[in-house]
């Protein structure tokens, strides 16, 4: 893999992180779920022991939540390529929900290159400070 190919893959994975936050804040659940591999896994920062497996289950989890206004702020994004088709990433996350205190945490991501492009194989959130 050339340096240019590596940088392009890292940029594609970092873009997934930002796109995920924006689509999540806009409650565009079908588009959020399309960022996962078909067999992707989501672990919410507020439910670290309850992984959700597969796009269908992830979509159901998003749609079952009560409507709310949110703003996710993601930073300190570092992507590490493991191979031409797999990568890992870590990012800091700050979630504003209005009335509640902000949640501070991080995401540890695994990415996989699919026929659709780079997708989340696993998105594992955690909280740095308990609410």
Q: Residue 28: its pLDDT value, please? A: 97
Indicate the average pLDDT of the chain. 95
Using the predicted structure, report yes or no on whether residue 54 has a pLDDT greater than 90.
yes
- Collapsing DSSP states into helix, strand and coil, what is residue 53? strand
**Parent domain of 97:** 3-127
Q: What is the mean pLDDT of residues 87-109?
A: 93
Rounded to two decimals, the pTM is: 0.94
Task: Give 34's strand partners.
Answer: none
Using the predicted structure, report yes or no on whether residue 99 has a pLDDT greater than 80.
no
Domain CATH for 60: 3.10.450.50
User: Residue 43: which residues within 8 A CB-CB, separation 6 or more?
Assistant: 50, 51, 52, 122, 123, 124, 125
Query: How many CB atoms within 10 Å of residue 7?
Result: 12
Domain count for the chain: 1
**Angle at the Cα of 126 (from 121 to 127), degrees rounded to 5?**
160
């Amino acid at each position: 893999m050339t340096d240019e190919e590596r940088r392009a893959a890292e940029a594609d994975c970092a873009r997934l992180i930002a796109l995920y936050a924006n689509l999540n804040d806009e409650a565009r659940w079908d588009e959020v779920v399309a960022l996962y591999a078909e067999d992707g896994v989501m672990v919410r920062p507020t439910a670290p022991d309850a992984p959700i497996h597969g796009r269908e289950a992830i979509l159901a989890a998003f749609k079952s939540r009560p409507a709310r206004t949110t703003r996710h702020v993601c930073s300190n994004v570092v992507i590490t390529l493991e191979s031409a088709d797999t990568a890992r990433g870590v990012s800091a996350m700050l979630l504003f929900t209005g009335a509640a205190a902000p949640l501070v945490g991080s995401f540890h991501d695994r990415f996989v290159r699919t026929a659709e492009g780079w997708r989340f194989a696993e998105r594992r959130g955690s909280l740095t400070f308990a609410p």
